[in-house]
Amino acid sequence: MRSEDEELIAIVENNSCAVDAIQYMTGCTFGKGNFFFRDYGKHVYTLALRPLGRGVRVSLKGTMFEKEDRDERIAQILSIDENELFDIRDVTIELPSHARIHESVPCSRCGEPVMETRIKEKDGKGYCIPCFNEKS
């Protein structure tokens, strides 16, 4: 199933190239607001349907790390049974909120438009995060 809007959501727990495959296969994207990144550094991928939150959680087992050599590891991954490679289980999750469109406001320093929810205030002025964090 490819997501046309927000009926399918994907939650990924790493920023590896595998995440590109999740986006491609599911149609979930940041732009649609149905793709969520949690920076846990784990090869875990959860796909769920709105409105009930029923879905599947796929997590990589440690088996793929037995081989040091990249080519040997690829061969191992391609030959192993998926039940040895992944833990796959049905889940019901608390769904993230639907996407919201926020206004953009100019940064007081660089002038670039910034989503209003990301503005940092200092001395009564609003700044984008990079400008706010710069040393004056």
- Asked whether residue 84 falls in the same domain as residue 110, the answer is no
Phi, psi of 46 (to 5 degrees): -115, 130
Q: Looking at the structure, do residues 63 and 120 belong to the same domain, yes or no? A: no
Residue 3 maps to a domain: no
What SS3 class is residue 54?
strand
Q: How far is CA 130 from CA 5, 104, 108, 117, 119, in A?
A: 31, 16, 12, 14, 10
Is residue 2 domain-resident? no
Q: Tell me the pLDDT tens digit for each residue of 75-93.
A: 888 888 888 889 999 999 9
Q: Using alpha carbons, list the distances in angstroms from residue 10 to 5, 36, 69, 92.
A: 12, 6, 31, 13
Considering the domain architecture, whether residues 128 and 81 belong to the same structural domain is answered as no
The confidence score (pLDDT) of residue 99 equals: 80
Q: What is the pTM of this model?
A: 0.75
Q: Tell me, yes or no, whether 86 and 111 share the same domain.
A: no
Q: What is the average per-residue pLDDT within 112-135?
A: 93
Pick from 52, 59, 51: which is nearest to 11 by CA? Answer: 59
Q: What is the CATH number of the domain that holds 24?
A: 3.30.1330.130
Q: Which residue segment(s) compose the domain that 28 sits in? A: 8-92
